[in-house]
Structure 1
């Protein structure tokens, strides 16, 4: 495997390390969390392109993939779980923990592949290939309220948190008083924090986005009292209450943009334009240079989120 970029490993405290998976070949995009416990545990894998970074990160920690016992995927979208089949080839003792609705798609990822090809088109192979099946005897299903002890003082609790996807788990960690939220609480953009900005946006990608379920899941996470959020995209935020409030506020704006565009017959392109216009202006007003790489990432997120908003609103109109 070729290491195209410098490996990045961050100590987040409480026995949690963050490996940058360089999803989409950019930094600060998709994170893999390593919980250094008696049962060495990973949360997320990102894509198969990220596996080399995971292996290198473990090496820097003085750990081997043979030690991994648990690989938890918050949901089965390929930017979170696409690399799990390939990673398993290096982890003979590991099992994969997934939401009940996601297990069959790990065993047979053909439908996931078709869906991702529809979104990413000709870029699919470079970004995601290969997507390998997970043997059924290595899949462990966990649902709402179930637990997993990975150390004598660390028992994780799983929560069913739909909204972004119907097959979404979040995980409460009592040691850090934190939650691993995948995409339920959206996306954190750490690239802009050196300008004093904290930007958190919902992730409303197709085709299972449901704003009411997303709001309910965020309130469910709020009820844990967790102080820290470990985002799938990307890294840790302290001060969960403020994050929840910001994401809920932006979710309402996303929907208003969607309704305006649909009313005007503009479809997903109109929604995408409105989202880009707002957040480009916001970043520019705060001094972010126009050639900063965050704009490219933001544009992709706006495009994919617009597709999910259009799908949801169109479905609502058909059912009304």
Structure 2
């Protein structure tokens, strides 16, 4: 049966234009999203979350009246495991789907051994098993690389890819002209719904190790903005509008984060984390958010740690 769903699962939100956000359940509610795009009875998943999200993705697909055979594409924005950890397992359930991955990340989807080793070095073996499960490879014949300015069609609906380094060198974003929106992965930062004030979102850049490059990130944001988008579909979390204001906020925070890293000397890691918290808390006060610094620290605990690590790696490269 095709058509619009009568009842969506509680973890799935209809965003209009045939786009659905699926809460993958990773870490906490409304932290990590996968997207389902539906057009004329065909479908694509953009980002997947981890292996543990796959049942939710398939449930959402069934809720919109589509069978697994209707999915043509699985498209991770990049191969960090909160975005792509479930790709291989999901592909097993979608017999007609092709994987489209950034060329720098494609080999890690076909053979995830090195991806597992690298992520384990950051998170540890126990956390990897708990949060991500066993990575499943994608057969090489079902995988293809994207290219800058490449366009594919989902039942006649064009999806355009651009190369967007800054967060990771293996990152692309996908432009959906139908909704005038970008699927941004982590290039357009993180925007948690807990920080919304009067319906206005807040966002912060993500400098997760090990490929953060501030100038490249700002250039990628500029490329996204060149299309005059009306909305961004961010993985962390959901659809945001008021896009020009958020772009300006992200660029300003990138500069402030870089300044914090450059100024840190003794006890560098602890100092960067402490001063990043002060930057974000100050920005949230300007945004009108009533959370105190302890509440901000709690909600951004993972991001503070990863952003500090990423800034340290960037400093060492320089």
Q: What's the counterpart of residue 310 of structure 1?
A: 312
1:112 offset after TM fit, Å? 1.4
Measure, in 2, the Cα distance between the counterparts of 1:199 and 1:116: 28
Q: 1:199 aligns with which of 194, 198, 202?
A: 202
Summarize the Cα distance change of 1:281–1:244 in structure 2 as closer, same or farther, 3 Å threshold. Answer: closer
1:291 offset after TM fit, Å? 7.8
1:302 offset after TM fit, Å? 1.0
Q: 1:123 aligns with which of 105, 119, 127?
A: 127
Q: Which moved more, 1:10-19 or 1:189-198?
A: 189-198
Q: Which moved more, 1:122-131 or 1:6-15?
A: 6-15
Match runs of 1:66-215 below 5 Å: 66-121=69-124, 122-152=126-156, 154-193=157-196, 198-215=201-218
Q: What's the counterpart of residue 268 of structure 1?
A: 269
1:280 offset after TM fit, Å? 4.3
Q: Which moved more, 1:95-104 or 1:121-130?
A: 121-130
1:279 offset after TM fit, Å? 2.8
Normalized against structure 2, the TM-score is what? 0.91
Measure, in 1, the Cα distance between the counterparts of 2:274 and 2:203: 19
Measure, in 2, the Cα distance between the counterparts of 1:282 and 1:214: 19
Normalized against structure 1, the TM-score is what? 0.90
Deviations 1:49-96 (A, max 9, x none): 111211222222222223211011110111100100111111111111
Measure, in 1, the Cα distance between the counterparts of 2:220 and 2:301: 26
Measure, in 1, the Cα distance between the counterparts of 2:222 and 2:240: 17
Measure, in 1, the Cα distance between the counterparts of 2:317 and 2:294: 37
Partner of 1:58, secondary structure, is helix
Question: Is the Cα contact below 8 Å between 1:179 and 1:230 reproduced in 2?
Answer: yes
Deviations 1:78-126 (A, max 9, x none): 1100100111111111111111111111111112112221222232111
Q: What's the counterpart of residue 298 of structure 1?
A: 300
1:224 offset after TM fit, Å? 1.4
**Considering only aligned residues, what root-mean-square deviation do their CA atoms show, in Å?**
1.9
Deviations 1:150-190 (A, max 9, x none): 123x1111000101011111011110011111111110111
Question: Is the Cα contact below 8 Å between 1:83 and 1:131 reproduced in 2?
Answer: yes
Partner of 2:20, secondary structure, is strand
Ranges in structure 1 where 5+ consecutive residues have no aligned partner: 1-5
Deviations 1:178-208 (A, max 9, x none): 1111111110111221565522000111111
Ranges in structure 2 where 5+ consecutive residues have no aligned partner: 1-8
Partner of 2:15, secondary structure, is strand
Q: Which moved more, 1:170-179 or 1:50-59?
A: 50-59
1:7 offset after TM fit, Å? 3.8
Q: What's the counterpart of residue 277 of structure 1?
A: 278
Measure, in 2, the Cα distance between the counterparts of 1:240 and 1:197: 11
